[in-house]
Amino acid sequence: MPFVSKRPKALSDLQQIWAYIAEDNPVNATKFLEQVDEKLKKLAESPFIGRQRNELFEGLRSFSIGRYIAYYIPLTQGIDLVRILHGSRDLGETEFF
């Protein structure tokens, strides 16, 4: 069964996303993260459908989830989620690892 591994920066990103949305509506924040988890599980089933992002890091891929972009590395049995960032974010100064 495919699995999703989440790196510490990805976990921090998810916590920050929840906190931002929860400022207006904690219930919606929780629902959104549940939707993200479901999409990540689906992505883990077909990890090579995301866009290659070798310009950022060799082997890195990205996949859009609403207004956010999941950055991950495909694994034999799933994905390794590196970051999840807002789609409008400038990646020039972003640390992925």
pTM, two decimal places? 0.92
Domain of 13, CATH number, reads: 3.30.2310.20
Q: Report the number of distinct structural domains present in the chain.
A: 1
Structure tokens at 72: 């991950």
**Whole-Å CA distances, 45 to 3, 36, 41, 77:** 8, 14, 7, 8
pLDDT tens-place values along the chain, 97 residues long: 789 999 999 999 999 999 999 999 999 999 999 999 999 999 999 999 999 999 989 999 999 999 999 999 999 899 999 999 998 887 777 777 7
Whether 92 is covered by a domain: the verdict is no
Is 93 inside a domain boundary?
no
Would residue 79 count as lying in a domain?
yes
